[in-house]
Amino acid sequence: MEIEFVGNNAIVQTDNVAFTFETTEDPRGFSSDRGKTDSLSWTDRHHFVGEWRIHPYGDTNDLPTIIKNTVQNNHIASGSLEKKTNMLWGKGPKLYREKYENRELIYDWQEDKDIQEWLDSWAYEDYLLKSLVDFNHIKGVFTKMYRSRGYRIDASKKIAKLEHVMPDRARLASRITENNNDPTHIVVTDWAFKHVESVLKAKAYFKFDPLRPFQHATSIFYSNMYSFCTEYYTVPELYGSLEWIRRSTAVPLIFKALSQNSINVKYHIQSPEYFWESARDTIKQNCTKAGKTYEETMFVEYQKKYLKKVTSVLSGEENVGKFLHTTIKLEVDGTNLLEHGWKIQAIDQNVKDYVEAQIKISQRADHVLTASTNVHSSLANVGQEGKSDSGSEQYHALNNYLATSTDIPEMIVLKAINYAIKANFPEKNLKLGFYHLGTKKMEDTSPGDRNPKT
């Protein structure tokens, strides 16, 4: 038996049967119901690590990792977000001063030797590019702020440099001894806890205070978009589209199985992620009792053994009359009754109809994805089938994006570095912003000017 994993999905095949295997939050209806591990109740929970009360980011404190895995396994999501990063970056970060001319607010772009020397001393562009990528994925940025070492021996007060902090490593926290739940610190460690050292090496930093920028030698600033009625972290816009993205990712997997096995692909199996999360938790508990260190390979081996058991039931003429028994867990979530159970769908050997149905699902998922990332379909190369998006449509979409969708992201991504510029150079009254060349309609440009880089 061969098992080829693609994320949490897989193609399973033997000599006489093959099936595609997909992990879903709720096999009953991915577009309408949400499984246990994708709720919003985590905003009111706490985890405890040592002396710290941790505010978890997601039900299992791994939402950034979930976003990463879902996006990077998809054929459109990562490219769409990269396009969004490129559009907001423009010609890169430049210094400017705001001023009014004829009652119109404009950016007066400036050059400043002192600020530029400070920026160049710590590779600020690399920091900002990483921050921009983080923002486009989870609508938040963690930044470590370093105070200059000479602070105690002279009157110089300065932020020496800024450093990007990966969002899967940083969590808002407060001391257990403090009655106030408002986070005062940010704890950094490997929150997947792959090794015992992850707990021992967890390090807490004070939250950066813009009103007292030189208070701590090292602090961390969390700049993020506020989510409606949600404390602490941002619920990223991709969150509501996770199941659509996973569905879009599963379709090429199904086609690969059909291509490799032709009409021998007999089943498409959906399993609840709740089942596998419970299995993973059980393995972790058994490792703790036995004094062993949990490794993800343990769960993978368990998954393979379980799929072999499923295969033994589905394959071979000698198994006619046998069946696979699974239990269904019902969960009440507000007014919804969620069903966590396995679903085995026999693939009709009328492959043409099946393929067309999957293509329609994929197309719908692609359009939902572009809507959730706020990238126009013409810019994300997701147009109608058989229709090429015109250049004018792409120009219009880009103009609309630059006019309406850049100010708030720019403010959040650059907030930490602009706080540092204000603290270090209070008399300059300058900020960093992303410089964009003005776009024109195609009919307003000559053919030779439409692609000036060629």
Mean pLDDT by 10 residues, the chain (454 residues): 66 64 50 46 80 89 89 84 90 93 88 95 96 95 91 72 96 88 90 73 93 94 92 87 80 72 62 79 89 87 82 59 49 56 66 75 77 70 54 74 84 97 94 79 48 39
Residue 85 and residue 167 in one domain = yes
Asked whether the beta carbons of 84 and 375 are under 8 A apart, the reply is yes
Q: What φ, ψ does residue 168 adopt, rounded to 5°?
A: -80, -5
Residue 218 and residue 260 in one domain = no
Residue 393 lies in a domain: no
Residue 347 and residue 336 in one domain = yes
Residue 451 lies in a domain: no
Residue 46 and residue 6 in one domain = no
Residue 239 lies in a domain: no
CA distance 367 to 83: 15
Residue 453 lies in a domain: no
**Residues near 382 by beta carbon (within 8 Å), at least 6 away in sequence:** 76, 80, 366, 367, 369, 370
Residue 280 and residue 323 in one domain = yes
Residue at which a domain ends, from 318, 335, 366:
366
Residue 9 and residue 133 in one domain = no
Residue 139 lies in a domain: yes
Q: Residue 381: its pLDDT value, please?
A: 59
Asked whether the beta carbons of 189 and 198 are under 8 A apart, the reply is yes
Q: Residue 39: its pLDDT value, please?
A: 65
Q: Residue 220: its pLDDT value, please?
A: 97
Residue 101 lies in a domain: yes
Domain that holds residue 229: 41-234+406-437
Looking from the CA of 232 toward its CB, the CA atoms found within 13 Å total 23
Q: At what angle do helices 242-261 and 351-373 cross, to 10 degrees?
A: 150
Residue 313 and residue 255 in one domain = yes
- Closest listed residue to residue 71, CA positions, set 233, 225, 191, 241: 241
Residue at which a domain ends, from 344, 366, 388:
366
**Residues near 134 by beta carbon (within 8 Å), at least 6 away in sequence:** 140, 141, 142, 164, 166, 167
End-to-end CA distance of the chain: 52
Residue at which a domain ends, from 337, 366, 395:
366
Listed in sequence order, the DSSP H helices in 315-439 are 351-373, 391-404, 407-413, 415-424
Residue 61 lies in a domain: yes
Residue 29 and residue 85 in one domain = no
Residue 303 and residue 331 in one domain = yes
Total of domains in the chain: 2
Residue 191 and residue 273 in one domain = no
Residue 45 and residue 19 in one domain = no
Residue 325 lies in a domain: yes
Residue 66 and residue 127 in one domain = yes
Token look-up 């394959």 returns: 315
Asked whether the beta carbons of 419 and 210 are under 8 A apart, the reply is yes
